[in-house]
Amino acid sequence: MRRWNVEDLYRIKGQTVRGQILDSEGIQARLTVHMGTCGISSGADKVYSALQEELAASKRQDIVLATSGCAGICNREPLVTVEKAGQEAVKYADVDVDTALRIFREHVLEDRLPGDLALVRGWEQPERAFDGVVPETLTNVASIKELPFFNHQELRVMRNRGLISADSMEEYIGVDGYFGAAKALFQMTPHEIVNEVKSSGLRGRGGAGFPTGLKWEFAAASKSEIKYVLCNADEGDPGAFMDRCVLESDPHSVIEGMIIAARAIGSDRGYIYCRAEYPLAVKTLNQAIDQARQHGLLGHNILNSGFSFDLEVYRGAGAFVCGEETALMTSIEGKRGTPRPRPPFPAVSGLWKKPTILNNVETLSSISQIILKGAKWFKSVGTPRSQGTKVFALTGDVKNVGLVEVPMGISLGTIINDIGGGIPKGKKFKAVQLGGPSGGCVPLEHLGASVDYETIPKLGAIVGSGGMIVMDEDKCMVDVARFFMEFCVDESCGKCTPCRVGTRQMLNILTRICNGQGREGDIETLEKWAVIIQNTALCGLGQTAPNPVLSTLRYFRNEYEAHIKDKRCPAVACATMFQSPCQHACPLGMDVPTYVALVKEERLEEAYRVLLRTNPFPSVCGRVCDHNCESKCRRQTLDESVHIKYLKRYITDNGPRPPMARATVNRLEKVAVIGGGPSGLSAAWELAQRGYMVVVYEALPEAGGMLRYGIPEYRLPRRALRAEIQAIVDLGVELRTGVMVGRDISWEDLDARYEAIYVAVGAQKSTRLKVEGENRSGVMGAVEFLRRCNLGQKPEIGSNVIVVGGGNTAIDSARTALRLGASEVTILYRREKEDMPAQEEEITAAVEEGVNLITLSAPARLAGGGDRVEEVVCQRMTLGDYDASGRRKPLPLAGAEFTLKADTVISAIGQQVDAGFQEQTSGHDSGIEFSPQGLVKIKTGSRTRAGETLVFAGGDAVTGPGMVVWAIRDGIAAAEEIDASIRARNGEPAWQKPPVEPIELLPPIVEEDIRESQRSPMPELPAEERRNDFREVELGFDAQTALAEACRCLRCDINEAVE
């Protein structure tokens, strides 16, 4: 074949570009099937051959079928792009053989676009932007500029993605391929090339981020007849696949980069070290090398410039450590791939002891553009010290999985939530692992962090090669650390002791912790060893192996502690620690599988007894619990979780309440509980069962706290609550209502009379709005508003009610206001609906009832003629970058204000402990301290201890407004701690829980019999009927529904299915 020179490049470029133009005279249409490994594994090859047959059958000569590499959005493969003369290109996603044929017939042949199948129209490459008129058939298809997955990206390394065929060198030349090399060979001295790369600021994209130009400068300065240019294509990080994509789709860009590098340092030979697990990449590379060699772009006298350079592919056998530069070189030398000490550095003594540079695929692929367009162009995006773009492999729990190329400096949140589309299945984001096993995780509070080489390391992670694994709330961070450590153990070459043994020792501890066998001191040992291994290991693999442990410890130490101290996995992922995820997810450890199974067997009294083992308020929880259990239910992997909460309610509504005997008082110590809410009553319930005499002081006329005076009756009927409180009184707990500590009884009195005090006063005071006009009448706090309603004092609210806030209290206030007769109830929320902390079903119910929801708005001032509020001047908000809550920060939109009429404004933006109580206790030597937010502080090392003496606290008073189940959990935990403290002081043995009677259940159904079935919806009163009174909205399951729902339980608590 003829060898080319520079003139040929221009000629071929012209021919190629002309040949690709679609017009009515020549080629009418082109179909491109995207055939990277990702595409082929999803069936792109079958799509291609089907289209090939169809095209042949149509006998159309003016239609072209082409292939190209990965198009980026990997979880939507196979992708097919259709271009027609005079029309904008259209990309189809999730194409199979049938849809491909439909696309061919309807779009290509009949010009009838199957809009339902189309993903997007247009090309990502700006130079391919379509400036014509969009035909009518395409207007319903989203433009590439509108889809966040595409429009935040800036393609440079992947500039040719989806555009050219990897098999065609001409197509590469058609997009300016090899013009960079030509420029470097004919117009630049090696020194100039090095300087251009240096001033571009390009940093090695393989992981360490070392300045590429500097590396080249060192190698150029080394004196040797033989020098090597190596390309590291041994991509081995779990979850990273950008190099594979470049190699498969655009191999010539890497070869061109290597030619330029060779010219810069004076090398004449090189290797591409590519892992054997990338067969397509190896094939594509070899083919590209052959083409380049045949046309004189590799080998002797490239483009007749007098410069010679040749290279070959060396296949690595799949050792992660061979991605480390010295191990890679040892491997090319034909030896066992183990690292060797540096110095000497490869730039001085590398492959076969000759000066060598090693660059990553992405780095080399960037080079030709830098040479062609200049360092300034490269620096036009990025941050001052991290220039250009970076490709990330976005994977894990994220809606759009794929390769994304973004400018350096973009925020993590933008990549994950905008490009990635956020977390699927309505789960919450937890952390993102950057840099694979050498990197670290970045949690929610740093979603706003800029992605660059300075910021990410400060957070304890690394940019690395660009693996970005998104993890949702169901991922246990200890388990994640264990996973990565296991990877390092498997991949350690074994040469140096710290990496070979240290990683295994750390893995041992991590495995132990995940298995619920963690010990006191394990965290400290992990930290000590992590530092020693970092500081003493031979190569990068060992030195960075402890990073995932250190970073998870930095952000999720509490998860480690929960595993070790409480034997709990908060994410409910470490399966060896529990029988069933629902039970483990429940803060009270309720035995869900058993009571659900008992419902199925229609043994409701026994089921009720199971409920009462761990929860004094099952009926309440059956109505208002936030049901963590359901979010961890394994049934979700099949269809939807079991309606555990409603089954619980079904038991308490329909089962006979098992009689409970009065508890025997067999202890001398008396305990006082301040606050008759769920937390205080639960503490009393548990203490009474342990033989203590307990007195509960409640300031209001009736006990129940927020259950009684916060939650409206339409959600929690009073009879259900009263029955459960009565059961606690029946147990022997003394309840003194209408007694307020500080007013009716002094703290000193309590202190003197009781051995221990549990403070469960709740957060009874609404946080102020802090806007102008707040003191006008008609402005009130949500808690106060709801309390007055629930005391039966029907507050005057007028017809226009504005509720400010987005939590459950805001929704409760709005729905209550509606029932009190307001005609217009509006909720103002400063962020977006998705960001509202209220339970989703509550928001839906409120909107159904007619509550207006205005998001991205906040009150600016409250105005009125007299001292009454008459209108709310609202400020429109916009969302800035991510704040510490992991949500976009609301920022006032300058000049955008609007006014709402208001008779009443209810503030539901937060709650705190009543200031009166704060004064009461802080004046005395109770030892209680309050946080700046007005909440009780807990002493470190304890769960509920609040004072120096036996003073404990829990519930909303500590946590701020929270879910009832957590308040109950705090109460029980406080009771346990009070009992344990007293016993420890007396030198008594710990309390022994009385044994529970075992329950015999029928064997569960075997797996083959399980059929997909959706969960049963809760029957409700119709919205128009319920909005006028306080009748309970949810009607409860009937027996048939309950039975059907109970049958959906998979019985995860049983390890072996019965045949």
Partner 1 sequence: MEAPARIKLTIDGREVEATEGSTILDVAQANGIRIPTLCHHPGLSSHGGCRLCVVEIDGAPRLAASCVTPIRKGMAVVTVNDRIIEARRTILEYLFSERSHFCMFCASSGDCELQALAYEYQLDHVDAPSLEGLFPTDASHPDLVIDHNRCILCGRCVRACHEVAGAGVLDFHNRGGRTMIGADLTGPLGQSTCLSCGVCEQVCPTGAIHNRHQTHYAVHGKDKDWQTIESFCPSCGLHCRTVNYVRNNHLLRVEGLLNDSGVDRGQLCRLGRFEPLMSPAVRLDKPLLKNESGQWVELEWPEALSAAGKSLAGLRRKEGQGAVAGYVSSALPEDELAGFKELVLDKLKAGRLDCLDGDIGRKIALALKQAGSRFKEAPLSAVAESDLIVLVGADLESTHPMVCGQVRRALMESKAKLAVIGPVNNFGTWAAVHLPVEGTDMGRALKAITADSASMKDFWSAWEGKGLTQLTETFYASRRPILIAGLELTLSGGVDGLSEAIRLAEARRQAKASYSPLIILKPSGNSEAAWRIGLAGETAAPESKIRGALVCLDGEVEIGDTIPREAEFVAVLTPYFSQQVADRAHLLLPRPTALESRGTYTGLDGSTRMEKQPVLKAPRQVRPLLETLNALADALQGESAGRGKN
Among 187, 535, 637, 793, binds partner 1 (CB under 8 A): 535
Of residues 157 and 321, the one with the C-beta less far from partner 1? 321
The site map against partner 1 for 422-441 (x = CB under 8 A) is --------------------
Strands annotated E in 89-147: 90-92, 118-121
d(C-alpha 147, C-alpha 140), whole Å = 13
d(C-alpha 267, C-alpha 244), whole Å = 25
538 interacts with partner 1 by CB under 8 A: yes
Q: How many CA atoms lie within 13 A of 531 on its CB side?
A: 6
User: Measured in whole angstroms, how far is the alpha carbon of residue 569 from the centre of its chain?
Assistant: 18
The single-letter DSSP state of residue 1027 is T
Six token digits for residue 114 = 């199957």
Of residues 496 and 838, the one with the C-beta less far from partner 1? 496
* DSSP track, 914-951: -HHHHHHHHTTTT---B-TTS-BPPPTT-SSB-SSSSE
Of residues 496 and 953, the one with the C-beta less far from partner 1? 496
1055 interacts with partner 1 by CB under 8 A: no
What is the smallest separation between the CB atom of 339 and partner 1, expressed in angstroms?
A: 9
* Segment 190-196 long-range contacts (CB within 8 Å, at least 24 positions apart): 190/220, 190/263, 190/264, 190/265, 190/266, 191/220, 193/260, 193/263, 193/264, 193/371, 194/220, 194/264, 194/265, 196/370, 196/371, 196/374, 196/375
The single-letter DSSP state of residue 131 is -
Of residues 498 and 655, the one with the C-beta less far from partner 1? 498
Which element (helix H / strand E) includes 65?
strand 63-68
What is the smallest separation between the CB atom of 224 and partner 1, expressed in angstroms?
A: 16
Of residues 3 and 340, the one with the C-beta less far from partner 1? 340
Strands annotated E in 739-839: 756-759, 765-766, 779-781, 800-804, 824-828
Specify whether the CB–CB gap between 605 and 659 falls below 8 A: no
d(C-alpha 504, C-alpha 738), whole Å = 61
What is the smallest separation between the CB atom of 510 and partner 1, expressed in angstroms?
A: 13
d(C-alpha 461, C-alpha 266), whole Å = 36
Environment class of residue 745 by beta-carbon count within 10 Å: exposed (0-12), middle (13-18) or buried (19+)?
middle
Q: How many CA atoms lie within 13 A of 162 on its CB side?
A: 25
Q: Which of residues 479-518 bind partner 1 (CB under 8 A)?
A: 489-498, 500-502, 504-505, 508
What is the smallest separation between the CB atom of 550 and partner 1, expressed in angstroms?
A: 13
Among 17, 21, 133, 532, binds partner 1 (CB under 8 A): 532
Identify which range of 530-538, 565-573, 793-801, 954-962 contacts partner 1 by CB under 8 A.
530-538
Coil, strand or helix at 559: helix
Specify whether the CB–CB gap between 816 and 942 falls below 8 A: no
Identify which range of 15-23, 534-542, 677-685, 982-990 contacts partner 1 by CB under 8 A.
534-542
What is the smallest separation between the CB atom of 349 and partner 1, expressed in angstroms?
A: 11
529 interacts with partner 1 by CB under 8 A: yes
Identify which range of 6-14, 347-355, 522-530, 789-797 contacts partner 1 by CB under 8 A.
522-530
What is the smallest separation between the CB atom of 967 and partner 1, expressed in angstroms?
A: 41
Which bin fits 358, alpha (ψ -120 to 50), beta or left (φ > 0)?
beta
What is the smallest separation between the CB atom of 1017 and partner 1, expressed in angstroms?
A: 53
Beta carbons within 8 Å of 854's beta carbon, 6+ residues apart: 826, 827, 828, 829, 874, 900
Q: How many CB atoms lie within 10 A of CB 109?
A: 15
What is the smallest separation between the CB atom of 520 and partner 1, expressed in angstroms?
A: 13
What is the smallest separation between the CB atom of 482 and partner 1, expressed in angstroms?
A: 16
Q: Which of residues 540-569 bind partner 1 (CB under 8 A)?
A: 543
The site map against partner 1 for 447-486 (x = CB under 8 A) is ----------------------------------------
Of residues 528 and 557, the one with the C-beta less far from partner 1? 528
Beta carbons within 8 Å of 996's beta carbon, 6+ residues apart: 613
Of residues 306 and 494, the one with the C-beta less far from partner 1? 494
274, β-bridge pairs: 233, 315
Q: Which of residues 279-338 bind partner 1 (CB under 8 A)?
A: 319, 321, 336
d(C-alpha 879, C-alpha 875), whole Å = 13
What is the smallest separation between the CB atom of 702 and partner 1, expressed in angstroms?
A: 57
What is the smallest separation between the CB atom of 344 and partner 1, expressed in angstroms?
A: 8
Q: Which of residues 245-264 bind partner 1 (CB under 8 A)?
A: none
Of residues 178 and 487, the one with the C-beta less far from partner 1? 487
What is the smallest separation between the CB atom of 311 and partner 1, expressed in angstroms?
A: 26
Of residues 529 and 966, the one with the C-beta less far from partner 1? 529
Of residues 540 and 955, the one with the C-beta less far from partner 1? 540
What is the smallest separation between the CB atom of 338 and partner 1, expressed in angstroms?
A: 8
Enumerate helices (H) and strands (E) in the chain, giving the number of each.
41, 29
Identify which range of 389-397, 535-543, 547-555, 762-770 contacts partner 1 by CB under 8 A.
535-543
Of residues 490 and 840, the one with the C-beta less far from partner 1? 490
What is the smallest separation between the CB atom of 438 and partner 1, expressed in angstroms?
A: 15
Of residues 531 and 660, the one with the C-beta less far from partner 1? 531
Of residues 49 and 508, the one with the C-beta less far from partner 1? 508
| Rounded to 5°, angle at Cα 973 from 972 and 977 | 120
654 interacts with partner 1 by CB under 8 A: no
Of residues 534 and 852, the one with the C-beta less far from partner 1? 534
The site map against partner 1 for 808-847 (x = CB under 8 A) is ----------------------------------------
Distances (CA, A) of 548 to 458, 483, 679: 14, 9, 38
The site map against partner 1 for 337-356 (x = CB under 8 A) is ---xx-xx------------
The count of chain residues that interact with partner 1, using the rule CB under 8 A, is: 33
What is the smallest separation between the CB atom of 228 and partner 1, expressed in angstroms?
A: 22
* Segment 816-819 long-range contacts (CB within 8 Å, at least 24 positions apart): 816/712, 816/785, 816/786, 816/789, 817/904, 817/906, 818/849, 818/850, 818/851, 818/1027, 819/712, 819/714, 819/1027, 819/1028, 819/1029, 819/1030
Among 5, 143, 199, 534, binds partner 1 (CB under 8 A): 534
Q: Which residues bind partner 1 (CB under 8 A)?
A: 319, 321, 336, 340-341, 343-344, 489-498, 500-502, 504-505, 508, 525, 528-529, 532, 534-538, 543
